[in-house]
Structure 1
């Protein structure tokens, strides 16, 4: 049996059951995995040679038939079909044939860093919206396609589970299952007896809250996969109830020194020193010692950290020769005044709050938390009449536990929450069951609408301007009642628009469906709470963000805007607007003391620094200051709120301390990883080998034109595909892919809203390539002929184009284990002249693929010229064999280069830890097409 595998090693051709096959890497002794020659990955079969009626034989690929010439445009079409079908492409990366995204060059830097590590341990701390999910997905897919892992798990907060599952499926062809408290029971019902979820599903996305529990944690640790991706990793490193369990879980996972770990976060250092070094220790326990070393940037440990830590800000991306990655963010502020009945109502509630708080604090020991309750109520009043009514109507029991809950920073101060779904509920604020509260409730009900609500009126005016400029706005509110209130009145005013309010009332799945439905509207307006500030990407549909309610935590504002202003945004500009009351003390405090301070720091350092985690005494003093003052003067550039000196001084000290820590972190730890000059050549080479967006567009358009179903141009990079006019076999296969009816498509990422993005691994591309190649090999009159002779003005002497497919066998040995892989590539060679032929450079050969005919040639003359070109190959097979060997060496050089170990030598790593790669050409080379170009002067 071993002779069978040795004879038919991966990449070789065999004949079985009346057709030719390519042996796949998954083959083993006595069992072969075979892909039909010209077929796709979906056509792979498993075959046991010993059970076959006819013995397997080595096969060679037949030359083109000179008696069946076609036209020269078939050369480019056939070349594109062969190139775009490649899934195990040659070149420096194994995975790019299996991804459905066109990554930017800067997103390859983490991948190259990962490939230079024997065991991948990376902290990817790029800015919000840069594309950490894509960067992690590229690494995961590459490790899988290199055979270094077979299973993986993504651990993330609950609200990100669905997004991760979708990203892995749509972008990386990885069908992962979501494991949450609600989904597990359904999945377990369909499991075979004695099989666990982690046995059944190789790719899982797991809620951190689900897996950290004692019931599930131990089992997961016992069978955890070779690769773990942790999103929002900073939430697993800080102290606090529940978070400590997460950290302990990760510590035990990284204890296995063979396990690959990817940690993702946009805020690696949030001001908590201990949490930051906890995070670094998950890469390598020794990195925790950096806390003691401080600013010693030349320490060996600090230099080693640079191999595992990449952090880039938006401005760092500018050097990557791609100015179109991110939109330009235009910011503005709009204001309203507390006038009329609404101003009177606000003053009345404020006086009620302050007097009640003072009285309670004087009468009851330890009742200082009452100030948090009054702040919560006043924030509701400042938000909307609907939120005020809800808060005043909900009874608050005056227990210590209730007060403590309101004092929690995630409830009142908008602290960073791991799960945002429950933080948009209006707090209970009814403290005394008196008739006076009923009057306030009735007054709040009367204020609804733009007539008596100046805040709503200002919003409507601003949204009208945004819509007139062709923008699609997202309006973020603090509370559920406010979101519904705003959505209702916007819908009444903008009758042609489609308005929806999405809040924490809905499950993550329901939110995603509602966003998807809204994105199909011609004029969408989305009103949302902070449940959407993480987890669902909005950049494909929306182009403006309005902060209807100010968030106490500046990080929350960045998260909101980052849903729209991020990688994949098609608009060149994104508008963000802050709406605030110019004489509202709460808005004034948040704006001047927190948001503007945070923005000034961000401009200075280039990163967002979270609001300092103040002591409760400072918070209480600041809250008192915010509640006790109401500016009655006209609008000023900055409100003088008259805060007490001591709390403001303490607050300033806290801010300065946070700035100092951030500067220290930037100086000692921040680095941008690999530079463009190291990555861009690899990126450009991979695009040449596998094809880019322009190749996909040219191939699909040309193939459909040949078939007789050309695309319709709708403008702005949007085309229409009409499947009903395709041959029946193609119609049926496209129907299985959900493309049964007329479909809008785009070849550019991000696609225009409502369009299918057609990338190289999209089913449409694969189906068209299969259809053309099948016909080229089997039909008497193929759409993409394998040979042609053409008269053209683009050559001065007879020039022959040979279209070749090369197969290579890769063997990677690491720690005594050898893995077999296969790589394929399509190459166009050009031979100039016949008496003294000269081989042209690759670039010149590729240009000749698009040569334009200038005159006709008879069929007999075409066959004669093609025969001469084929005869040359038959008498010079050594040239093709040498080409195969040279390309195999080039592939080995690619793999060696991206996996170079010069940076790791001297750090205790052995060559065998990194692995050794061998590449062998599978000969003979396959001659796919022969195209003769004759000069027009003959």
Structure 2
């Protein structure tokens, strides 16, 4: 009969020792070598083995290699940094390659206090919603509560999610887009869907929302879903309706975890907000949130923090974000430019006047007027492109393009539109004026150059955002001419997403650098590591687009202390003035009052009317048009909408502000975990010590560690190459990591490879011949006043999650325990300090061996006494930690922890009193 093994048991099979891991099938054994890494694990079918697997015990061998203080300390750090299955309540901590801020742990704690997480994270742009969602996902994966997931996001965010999951969380996901789906499906059996074959995916919402794909996805959708830009999945737009139908179907499965992200949850539309909340629970669609009972219920699922909430005295996170300074730069039009603006405006109003009295005809004419005037205000080049563009836009795309909505056609976001018919002799006159202006001095461009000179001279790295391709092209050309020593690149929708990323990345080693971009870069590519200034060359007509532009630079991880933004406009321009008064000034006032940037009202008819009326009032011509009075009602309606938006936002803040979890609930739990598994600082110190041990020292320059890998042993170079590391690796010592570097966190491939190799060498000396990493030693040290036996151990625990589906997990933890002559045990940081203290001398080999032989005899008593007590006490402590973090809420799974005894003794070191 085959011996049964549980996770955490030691097994001897195929001539070596293994530790049993949770197995996907009862009759199989899932084993990891005791001295190997997670990726060395294998599945084994006991009945097919020549020698049946047997129970094993981990012993300190009699011929263990002697160690000195330096190698003993290195071994202790290698053990701590090599373990990936943490025992504490944050099991994911050992898998992270960054140090989360305390406020970013709040959504994770909220999720852990729910049986099935349903969370809406509505933090400000740039706070780190992707990180917060990734923390929840990684934690539930490491708890064994999910092994498959899908991230649903707009197409331009797919690659960003792929990179973030890989770089920060060590998760390899597959991108599913219109471009990749056919390739992924090629070769799959007819009975197997793409989502059956690929269980960890990042999916384009626009690819999956169609009815045919939606139904196929719903059948194979995993039990954990993240929805980014969730606000784009509710509303009246056809694409939003399709997305909502998809999510509503997924939400019907009450066992499915759903984490939604948005910086604009309300949008001034209570119905849309209710639909969004209904994805958490159907009841939330119609609840009265003025009632405290409903508010308290929602507060368990909804978190919304403004930046100002995190920089106050309570959270004290001001250092996490740069100071934001903004200013306006008005410029005057030349007489020729003003005449051109007036000529186009008069022509457009004439078209409107003859468009007929029907609402549809009049509205199309209004849109055409605003679209063309927007191009005129952007640049002569954009105006000329629009006037020459006779094709126009499809009717359903006119309004979203005009108001900078997040639409389905991301590749067309910066194309110059002409949704009106221009077919008479006036067209030739307008084109002639535009052509003349393209070769004349441009006051807007001249003002930009004047603005840019001090920025570049002071070492600033600016991004100039333009609305249209033609404008960006002209601006980029002019800046290259005026700043010949700077690296100037232009990125527009003419480039593929991959080309955009490559062009931005190519600027990393160049200074000074200037990026000219259209709004194809206002989402999807974070720019904070390369740029610190945003210039709005063209006004956006949607306040959230301005926020998105600035959010590419002004966000968590920005290394500069100050981020600047510059808003350019002309008081002589009827269109600039109208947009400022009707849209941007109103939104700015609400932002100052509430701390939240509100989007443009969903009902765009009054917005259009108000813009048209404002432009008419700003004309130099005294001619009046018969439709002016009809626009006044729209202007008054829009004013009421803005007032309602402000009141709704104020009411929302008082209703839904996250006040339940405070810093003192979050920070101590994380600090406790970090002390056990090792911090990023400990990882960086370990890299330096380990590389030195391999006779390949690192070099530190301006906060960046240069680690040359070519001098490492061949077997290590191969392992590192398999993990994508070659040549000289540049490691940042702290976040934000400069461009071209990665943060040297505990889960970095270099840290993982070195720690696993050193541990393997200590346990199996033949693994890396010539590298002496001993397991026993004795030396005098000023760190102790009496003899101390320091035992380095790998503790193993069986963690059982008692719920609807009981799960048994393996947890491992490094531990240092010092036992004094009286049998009293000390553990934790004090013992680590003892071991790290430099020895005051060396013992003769005979004296060293005598001390270690005596310590071996005492070890048996320690294992039966003080050490066993320590391990059991740690198990009890873990039960309390898990219960506290999950708050023992009703319905939440209970956790029990069983220690595996005896622990694995990795090292035994005798510290003797000795003068420094």
TM-score (norm 1): 0.92
For residues 52 and 487 of structure 1, the distance between their equivalents in structure 2, rounded to whole angstroms, comes to 68
Residues 878/781 of structure 1: CA separation in 2 closer, same or farther (3 Å cut): farther
2:888 and 2:894 in contact (8 A); partners too: no
For residues 378 and 234 of structure 1, the distance between their equivalents in structure 2, rounded to whole angstroms, comes to 29
For residues 359 and 262 of structure 2, the distance between their equivalents in structure 1, rounded to whole angstroms, comes to 44
Corresponding residue SS for 1:854: coil
Q: Work out whether 1:75 is the aligned partner of 2:72.
A: yes
- Aligned equivalent of 1:317: 310
- Aligned equivalent of 2:624: none
| 1:157-177, Cα deviation, whole Å (9 max, x unpaired) | 222222222222222222222
CA RMSD, 1 decimal: 2.6
- Aligned equivalent of 2:851: 865
For residues 575 and 418 of structure 1, the distance between their equivalents in structure 2, rounded to whole angstroms, comes to 31
For residues 480 and 61 of structure 2, the distance between their equivalents in structure 1, rounded to whole angstroms, comes to 65
Residues 201/524 of structure 1: CA separation in 2 closer, same or farther (3 Å cut): same
Shift of 1:802: 1.7
- Aligned equivalent of 2:658: 671
| 1:408-451, Cα deviation, whole Å (9 max, x unpaired) | 432223234355432211112674434543343344334336x6
Shift of 1:87: 0.9
Shift of 1:364: 12
For residues 67 and 863 of structure 1, the distance between their equivalents in structure 2, rounded to whole angstroms, comes to 11
2:232 and 2:406 in contact (8 A); partners too: no
Shift of 1:702: 0.4
1:795 and 1:935 in contact (8 A); partners too: yes
Residues 231/438 of structure 1: CA separation in 2 closer, same or farther (3 Å cut): same
| 1:532-575, Cα deviation, whole Å (9 max, x unpaired) | 11122112222111100001111110011111111222222211
- Aligned equivalent of 1:638: none
For residues 154 and 529 of structure 2, the distance between their equivalents in structure 1, rounded to whole angstroms, comes to 23
Shift of 1:586: 1.5
| 1:245-293, Cα deviation, whole Å (9 max, x unpaired) | 2222222211111111112111110011111111111111111222xx2
Corresponding residue SS for 2:902: strand
- Aligned equivalent of 2:212: 215
Q: Work out whether 1:116 is the aligned partner of 2:113.
A: yes
1:711 and 1:721 in contact (8 A); partners too: yes
1:405 and 1:411 in contact (8 A); partners too: no
Shift of 1:781: 5.9
Q: Work out whether 1:308 is the aligned partner of 2:301.
A: yes
1:790 and 1:853 in contact (8 A); partners too: yes
- Aligned equivalent of 1:329: 324
Aligned pairs (5 A) from 1:708-727: 708-715=695-702, 717-727=703-713
Corresponding residue SS for 2:836: coil
For residues 73 and 533 of structure 2, the distance between their equivalents in structure 1, rounded to whole angstroms, comes to 43
Q: Work out whether 1:370 is the aligned partner of 2:365.
A: yes
- Aligned equivalent of 2:502: 513
Aligned pairs (5 A) from 1:326-725: 326-358=321-353, 360=355, 366-367=361-362, 369-395=364-390, 404=395, 408-417=398-407, 420-428=410-418, 431-448=421-438, 452-614=441-603, 616=605, 619-630=608-619, 648-715=635-702, 717-725=703-711
Residues 922/631 of structure 1: CA separation in 2 closer, same or farther (3 Å cut): farther
For residues 871 and 255 of structure 1, the distance between their equivalents in structure 2, rounded to whole angstroms, comes to 62
Further displaced range: 473-482 or 369-378: 369-378
Shift of 1:481: 1.0
Residues 682/244 of structure 1: CA separation in 2 closer, same or farther (3 Å cut): same
Residues 926/565 of structure 1: CA separation in 2 closer, same or farther (3 Å cut): same
Shift of 1:362: 8.5
For residues 775 and 463 of structure 2, the distance between their equivalents in structure 1, rounded to whole angstroms, comes to 53
Residues 518/430 of structure 1: CA separation in 2 closer, same or farther (3 Å cut): farther
2:815 and 2:827 in contact (8 A); partners too: no
Q: Work out whether 1:920 is the aligned partner of 2:898.
A: yes
For residues 502 and 693 of structure 2, the distance between their equivalents in structure 1, rounded to whole angstroms, comes to 38
1:109 and 1:673 in contact (8 A); partners too: no
For residues 15 and 426 of structure 1, the distance between their equivalents in structure 2, rounded to whole angstroms, comes to 70
| 1:379-426, Cα deviation, whole Å (9 max, x unpaired) | 1111111101101111267xxx96x557x4322232343554322111
1:583 and 1:631 in contact (8 A); partners too: no
Q: Work out whether 1:60 is the aligned partner of 2:57.
A: yes
Residues 66/852 of structure 1: CA separation in 2 closer, same or farther (3 Å cut): farther
2:93 and 2:674 in contact (8 A); partners too: no
Corresponding residue SS for 1:849: helix
For residues 13 and 396 of structure 1, the distance between their equivalents in structure 2, rounded to whole angstroms, comes to 72
Residues 620/749 of structure 1: CA separation in 2 closer, same or farther (3 Å cut): same
Shift of 1:673: 4.5
Q: What is the number of equivalent residue pairs in this alignment?
A: 904
Shift of 1:24: 1.1
Gaps of 5+ in 1: 633-640
- Aligned equivalent of 2:812: 824
Corresponding residue SS for 2:319: coil
Corresponding residue SS for 2:401: coil
Shift of 1:116: 0.9
Residues 175/363 of structure 1: CA separation in 2 closer, same or farther (3 Å cut): closer
- Aligned equivalent of 1:243: 240
| 1:138-160, Cα deviation, whole Å (9 max, x unpaired) | 11121122121222111222222
Shift of 1:869: 2.3
1:396 and 1:430 in contact (8 A); partners too: no
- Aligned equivalent of 1:49: 46
Shift of 1:72: 0.7
- Aligned equivalent of 1:891: 878
For residues 414 and 809 of structure 1, the distance between their equivalents in structure 2, rounded to whole angstroms, comes to 54
For residues 338 and 149 of structure 1, the distance between their equivalents in structure 2, rounded to whole angstroms, comes to 60
For residues 699 and 898 of structure 1, the distance between their equivalents in structure 2, rounded to whole angstroms, comes to 30
Residues 766/621 of structure 1: CA separation in 2 closer, same or farther (3 Å cut): closer
| 1:30-49, Cα deviation, whole Å (9 max, x unpaired) | 42111111210111122222
2:27 and 2:45 in contact (8 A); partners too: yes
Shift of 1:921: 1.0
For residues 907 and 180 of structure 2, the distance between their equivalents in structure 1, rounded to whole angstroms, comes to 52
For residues 29 and 414 of structure 1, the distance between their equivalents in structure 2, rounded to whole angstroms, comes to 55
Q: Of the candidates 755, 758, 777, which is equivalent to residue 769 of structure 1?
A: 755
1:586 and 1:627 in contact (8 A); partners too: no
1:789 and 1:931 in contact (8 A); partners too: yes
Residues 644/78 of structure 1: CA separation in 2 closer, same or farther (3 Å cut): same
For residues 557 and 151 of structure 2, the distance between their equivalents in structure 1, rounded to whole angstroms, comes to 22
